[in-house]
Chains A and B, each alone.
Chain A
Amino acid sequence: MEIIDKAFAGNRGDKVRSDCYVELELKDSGGLNIVVKSKVQAMFGADIEKLVKDFTEFYNIKNANILMEDNGALPLVQAARLEATYKMLRSDSRPFFFKNPSQNSLATSKEKSRISRLYLPGNNPSLMINAGLHHPDGIILDLEDAVAPAKKFEASFLVRNALLWLDFYGAEKMVRINQVPRGLDDLEHIVGYGVNLILVPKCESADQIRLVNQQIDVLRKERNSNQEIWLMPIIESALGVVKAYEIATSAENIVAMAIGLEDYTADLGTRRTEEGKESFYARSQVVNACRAAGIQPIDSVFSDVNDMEGLARNVQNSKALGFDGMGCIHPRQIKVIHENFAPETAEIEKAKKIVNAFIEASEKGLGVVSLGSKMIDAPVVKRAQKVIDIALSIGLIDVDWRKEF
């Protein structure tokens, strides 16, 4: 009986853009038979053929049929699709880097503003390429719910290549892995490749966090990577809500904790409403646990992308409950989220005075910051600085705001 040694990855069809479809059939003889069909043949046909050849040389493939149907994919996408097909057929841990990883390991701080974070399906390159231009605080490459089960394997290579080579224009690079334990396998493709923060979905115990961190440490050592990796557990069940504080305090590198209301309301046996009465307890519980643990509480996404007024009301409500930010599923939501989480004028004016006093004190070499007759503690300065940062990021104040002092 003939053994079929054939795999495919990627997407094909008229509506597919910035992606490609690859078929790889490994054979015992017959040499290499490479077919490239590209929408951009005239401009990049030769480049694509070279990439396919580099791939065969890298994995020492001598006999194979390879079909590449390209709809204007960037090289990082083509390389991910090729690598995925090979790894479906052979176990080989070496990643296929079609060029040197760019030096884009931007470090982020624990306190960094995380008002908006944009979810992107991990197997959809066309949405990734321009995502950073919309300036969310973070971009989440999602390996969990936004990727069909059959596509999760190939998506992990695309996500890795996006982390390595796509410019997110300053947005924090986040990945949502699958639920632990499956999610532990995803770490293989992201740790040491530029990820800043990992979202741990459907989190219900401190143990899950411990397992994630163990695996991160193993991989970091293996790859000589010392890049800081932050965690953001997502609470999505009744049990998770009960364990919120335990989870929030389970590791030093947890910087924020989010709530996912679709799954949570399903777990409660109810439905999500715009008013949100059904989740009031859970949201408050998460906010409270986060504040007690000194991390950022982050709200669930608002899923009607056409209803900007509903989104604005939702954000105002979220801010009033004490959240620091929320997820978004469409770039147009980012601006509304920022504007409605924005500090109020009085808050900004106060923050300006505090930060200015701090800068003046440091310029004079004073150890103590005071405003009028009041002493100002370091955490107050920090909070004020954050208000200034947010106000700056959404253009409420000018970069040279200190001119007025």
Chain B
Amino acid sequence: MNMKKTGKMVINAVGRLVPVEVNGEQQIPFQGVGKYRPTGRRYGPPLVSCADFPSDGNKLVSNLKEALVKAGLKDGMTISTHHHFRNGDLIANQIFDIAHELGVKNLRWFPSASFPCHEPLIKYLEDGTINRIEGSMNGALGRFASEGRMQGVGVLRSHGGRYQAVQDGEVQIDIAVIAAPTADAFGNANGVDGAAACGLLGFALADSQFAHKVIVVTDNLVPFPCIPWQIQGNYVDYTVKVDKVGDPEKIVSGTTAVTKSPDRLLIAEMTAQFCEEAELIYDGFSYQAGAGGTSLSIGIYFDEILKRKNWKARFVRAGSNQYPVKMLEEGRVDYILDGQTFDLEGVRSMRENPNHVNTSPFTSYNYHGKGNFASMVDVVILGATEVDVNFNANVVTHSDGVLLHGIGGWQNCLFGKTVFLPVPLFRDRIPVIIDEVTTLCGPGELIDVIVTERGIAINPRRTDLLEKLKNSKLPIKTIEQLKEEAEAICGKPAKPEFEDEVIAIVKWVDGTVLDSIRKVKK
């Protein structure tokens, strides 16, 4: 069986050629931002009865293998995991070791993201234990997929898109394995306590709610009740106690460090200055900034502005770490709405401070909901591997066409009020601003400002910003000027060459197909 044949291709609303059928499932081509309306009802897992579960609440089984067997692991199933342990995850690999041992084939792995620690799974992709990954593919896994070596076609979704796909029944999870830093035998679990504390478990929420079978695995088993119960045991079938669920030092860093790169600091400074001049920062504003070098520095500059003006942010959307935590504790922000926690200070704050809130892709990002808070954020700071002259951006492939990153919450955050992409104009010799992105991950209509060390381009749609900044001393240029400047320094890059074969598709937040990624030519 060759599942990778994607067959008929059509041109979607943004001019991208996409398959209408992927892995045997019908697809809807992207129709434009906010155009597609879903019909029908949310997906529901089978009904169950308390009569079939132990009344003493003890769902412990002896090991992960027994849990997987009891959950009915068999060929062709969909197995999900979450990525709150990042590169310190010890459980996902074990699941597939067990599947391989049992001779199970053709599984779909549905992680909320994969990391370099999952590289050993390549052998199971090669021998057919795993048919495909639907989730981010980083590093070696991305390269493996880009070379056309994965049997099925990869499906890339945003964090919000993953929740949407599960909720809509587009992806039906057979077995969800939720690794938890702390849990009780009933299956209540949290991320704030235990050796592998990672802050929260929000990425596993959909899995717990919608999977047919749910297994909670922990190395810190506490007597009922496990409080807080970020994951509720009422969804859980089996619990497993293991010696070690994750590598703490690879899960959260002790501290997050601000970049020392003068060029990144320059971009961060320019971004903060732009926000101030455009009056995007005000008493009660909100922003989202990640834990990457430049974003982290931008957050620190924002904090300096708040201090200087004696203002307060209403909330910070994070990727939390020591810097927003300091703002929270010193009273310069009312709430941290946290999606994942990056350092020990973030974990501590999440544990101790009720205003440091654990969020999920449902509250923050799900597009098939009655709103989500991503669209309420004033200033959003994101990254990109490429941006084109129409402000379209790419986050998943490099300019040589190789798949190397996941989408994460990136697409979902594009709905914020003003979206910034602070990026270098070129990396080594590779221009970041080009004629047309290799892979389209975010339509330009949602991207407002590109900040580079050599100039800032404002999306012409944002006439308000153009007006506000017209007398600025900041180097405001057009995006074409920036592109030409990059080419004058680096030369004009050749486009990567691809085979016809589609190795992965990029979904939009509403489940439609935004773009396809092809096999790279050797």
Interface residues of A (CB under 8 A from B): 17-18, 39-47, 71-75, 129-130, 133-134, 167, 330-332, 395
Q: A40-B428, A72-B428, A73-B429 are in contact. Are A134 and B262 (CB under 8 A)?
A: yes
Task: Report the separation of the CA atoms of residues A22 and B497 in the bound assembly, to the nearest whole angstrom.
Answer: 27
List CB contacts (< 8 Å) of B483-502 with chain A. Answer: 489-491, 493-494, 496-497
Given contacts A43-B493, A47-B491, A130-B453, 10 further A-B contacts (CB under 8 A): A40-B430, A40-B493, A42-B399, A42-B496, A44-B494, A72-B428, A74-B429, A133-B263, A134-B262, A331-B266
In whole Å, how far is B519's beta carbon from the nearest beta carbon of chain A?
Answer: 14
Q: Which residue of A lies closest to B490 (CB)?
A: A74
Most A CB atoms within 10 A — which of B266, B400, B429, B493? B429
Task: Report the separation of the CA atoms of residues A134 and B496 in the bound assembly, to the nearest whole angstrom.
Answer: 33
In whole Å, how far is A307's beta carbon from the nearest beta carbon of chain B?
Answer: 13
Q: Which residue of B lies closest to A74 (CB)?
A: B429
Determine if A43 and B428 form an interchain contact, defined as CB atoms under 8 angstroms apart.
Answer: no
Determine if A39 and B428 form an interchain contact, defined as CB atoms under 8 angstroms apart.
Answer: yes
In whole Å, how far is B474's beta carbon from the nearest beta carbon of chain A?
Answer: 12
Q: List the A side residues contacting B491 at CB < 8 Å.
A: 44, 47, 75
In whole Å, how far is A280's beta carbon from the nearest beta carbon of chain B?
Answer: 32
The verdict on B308 contacting chain A, using a C-beta distance below 8 Å, is no
Determine if B494 and A331 form an interchain contact, defined as CB atoms under 8 angstroms apart.
Answer: no
Determine if B262 and A72 form an interchain contact, defined as CB atoms under 8 angstroms apart.
Answer: no
The verdict on B454 contacting chain A, using a C-beta distance below 8 Å, is yes
Q: List the A side residues contacting B399 at CB < 8 Å.
A: 42-43
Task: Report the separation of the CA atoms of residues A73 and B428 in the bound assembly, to the nearest whole angstrom.
Answer: 7
Determine if A72 and B496 form an interchain contact, defined as CB atoms under 8 angstroms apart.
Answer: no
Q: List the A side residues contacting B490 at CB < 8 Å.
A: 44, 74
Q: List the A side residues contacting B496 at CB < 8 Å.
A: 42-43
Q: List the B side residues contacting A40 at CB < 8 Å.
A: 400, 428-430, 493
Determine if B400 and A42 form an interchain contact, defined as CB atoms under 8 angstroms apart.
Answer: yes
List CB contacts (< 8 Å) of B383-411 with chain A. Answer: 399-401
In whole Å, how far is B501's beta carbon from the nearest beta carbon of chain A?
Answer: 17
Determine if A74 and B489 form an interchain contact, defined as CB atoms under 8 angstroms apart.
Answer: yes
Q: Mark B471-515, 1 if CB is under 8 A from A, else 0.
A: 001000000000000000111011011000000000000000000
> Which listed residue, B401, B428, B497, touches A18 by the CB 8 Å rule?
B428
**Between-chain CB contacts (< 8 Å), 10 pairs:** A17-B428, A41-B400, A42-B400, A43-B430, A43-B494, A46-B494, A73-B429, A74-B489, A133-B454, A134-B266
Q: Which residue of A lies closest to B425 (CB)?
A: A130
Task: Report the separation of the CA atoms of residues A259 and B428 in the bound assembly, to the nearest whole angstrom.
Answer: 35
Task: Report the separation of the CA atoms of residues A18 and B147 in the bound assembly, to the nearest whole angstrom.
Answer: 27
In whole Å, how far is A165's beta carbon from the nearest beta carbon of chain B?
Answer: 9
In whole Å, how far is A46's beta carbon from the nearest beta carbon of chain B?
Answer: 7
In whole Å, how far is B361's beta carbon from the nearest beta carbon of chain A?
Answer: 34
Q: A42-B399, A43-B494 are in contact. Are A71 and B265 (CB under 8 A)?
A: no
Q: List the A side residues contacting B493 at CB < 8 Å.
A: 40, 43-44
Q: Which residue of A lies closest to B493 (CB)?
A: A43
In whole Å, how far is B116's beta carbon from the nearest beta carbon of chain A?
Answer: 16
The verdict on B35 contacting chain A, using a C-beta distance below 8 Å, is no
Q: Which residue of B lies closest to A131 (CB)?
A: B262
The verdict on B370 contacting chain A, using a C-beta distance below 8 Å, is no
The verdict on B427 contacting chain A, using a C-beta distance below 8 Å, is yes
